[in-house]
A and B are shown apart, each in its own frame.
Chain A
Amino acid sequence: MILEVKDLEVYYGAIRALQGISFSVEKGEIVTLIGANGAGKSTTLRTISGLLVPRRGEIFFQGQKITRLPAHKIVRMGISHVPEGRQIFPNLTVKENLLMGAYTRNNRAEVEQSLEEVMTRFPRLRERAKQLAGTLSGGEQQMLAMGRGLMSKPTLLLLDEPSMGLSPLLVEEIFEIIKSINRQGTTILLVEQNAYMALQVAHRAYVLETGRIVLHGKAEELRANPRIRSAYLGEVEEQDGV
């Protein structure tokens, strides 16, 4: 078990966003957390990466307790969080954004090699390396955010809605990249509103509703589950046409 979340309860002021959730991720898996807007998906990722402190519950990463560690230490342990809405640094160049992803690493030669790998995976980032990141299109920004996330050579990659706001063609491309990153050995925890795509690439899935996990299982089982089909997949199919 690479990640184990136990009975996590998180508040924003008086609002209880997570009501005691538990789940786990095995090494090599893609696990997806799906659910409607406001279900608590981003809150879960933010708590794992240390941006939020839970009121109750524990998080273990590779057997070590990381609950309440500051975010900058959690990155060093091998968890990389690609946040919702990309959060790239618009005032830095594309290359500088990628180098920021390797902020925790000190071996220059190795960082250069990672830079090379990321730019090979995302050729458009190489073309735009010297451009300010704020000038990129939405899809390019998503690729930059993912490339930046890979620059720390994470053991576990947390992806928050990588398909948000992208055209169907780009969504396909992003999900192909997610699969290939996973095949090359990175474990992925994927948060998506696009349940249809998420259940295509994931091995297992958890369904989050108002801060509670209401269902979990193998991705193909959930794809066949009538409740999921009507509540999540039906919606998504309609949205696809828009």
Chain B
Amino acid sequence: MEYFLEQVLNGLQLGLMYALIALGYTMVYGIIQLINFAHGDVFMVGAFLGYFGFAVWGLPLPAAILLAMVACAALGVTIERVAYRPLRYAPKIAALISAIGVSLFLEYFSSLKFVFGPNYRVVPRPFAEVNWKIAGLTVTNIQVIVFVVVVAMLVLLQFLIYRTKIGMAMRTVAVDHNAARLMGVNVDNVISFTFAIGSAFAALGGILYALAYPQIHPFMGIMPGLKAFTAAVLGGIGIIPGAVLGALIMGQVETLTAAYVSSQLRDAIAFAILILVLLFRPKGLLGRTETEKV
């Protein structure tokens, strides 16, 4: 029983990190109907920049995190500007191919010796891992940090989208670019802003991930990226609460599979979910089944 509950806690930690990444996929999809396949790689860049800031350049941890988030926001905005905007009203497949190109570019460019280098790096712990025994359960300080940070970000995002002017503009751009333009919304700026937020969240996710699983490398974004994408699809792509729900489910399924079935199956089960959702409920758990607006 305790073992089970500890696995659930581990799954929650993983799911919350997936949620942070999944939000970026789902927000971008909601606003320009594009799967940003480079998103997992922005997560990777975030982890590396956090590592460099803290472990190599000797910045205080909060400064290193902020630096990584701001730099990744700029990276996300640049990716959209260079690789997606010129193709915005072209057939969807063009932007999708472009996204895959950006993803591969980020992975192999990061692998170059004078960038991050091709090797695994061990991330030094900025603080010791502490275990607490609560009612017979072991809870780590890392789990608590992940929980607090991700929940704070979710609250912040909710506030941004439902209580601010730019958030309201984002909701209108998600419905109809031209109708938003007629209100005076600069649609390009709103899209850039969406990429900035999503990418900053991915960077934060990367740093939390490196904190929990302290090893980083240039291809580390692929798996969490694909799983967060699966989470977004599972919850209903374009729907923000869906991304969180999907991510929490993915975290549990993956952790419990590893604990009770086989740790070799953890990835396979994640993608089996993706296939099943696409086959039987392509709109996702929270998606409405009405036909999509073209």
Contact = CB atoms under 8 A, between A and B. Distances in A.
Interface of A: 49-51, 70-72, 75-76, 80-81, 83, 87-92, 96, 99-101, 103-104, 148, 152
Contacts of B183: 72, 75, 100-101, 103-104, 148, 152
A71 B174 contact: no
B178 interface: yes
Given A75-B182, A87-B182, A152-B183, 8 more contacts: A71-B181, A72-B185, A72-B187, A83-B179, A91-B175, A92-B171, A100-B185, A148-B183
A49 B175 contact: no
A72 B179 contact: no
A89 B179 contact: yes
Contacts of A90: 175
Contacts of B185: 72, 100, 103
Contacts of B168: 92, 96, 99-100
A3 B99 CA distance: 44
**Shortest Cβ-Cβ A-B pairs, 4 listed:** A104-B184, A71-B181, A75-B184, A87-B179
B176 interface: yes
Task: From A50, A70, A89, name the one whose CB has the most chain B CB atoms within 10 angstroms.
Answer: A89
Interface of B, helix, strand, loop or mixed by DSSP: helix
Residue with the highest number of chain A CB atoms closer than 10 Å, among B179, B182, B185: B182
B172 A92 contact: yes
B260 to A, nearest CB: 41
A51 B169 contact: no
A192 B182 CA distance: 20
Nearest to B175: A89
Identify the interface centre among B172, B183, B187: most chain A CB within 10 Å of its CB.
B183
A70 B175 contact: no
Contacts of A99: 168
A80 to B, nearest CB: 8
Given A87-B176, A89-B176, A103-B165, A70 B181 contact: yes
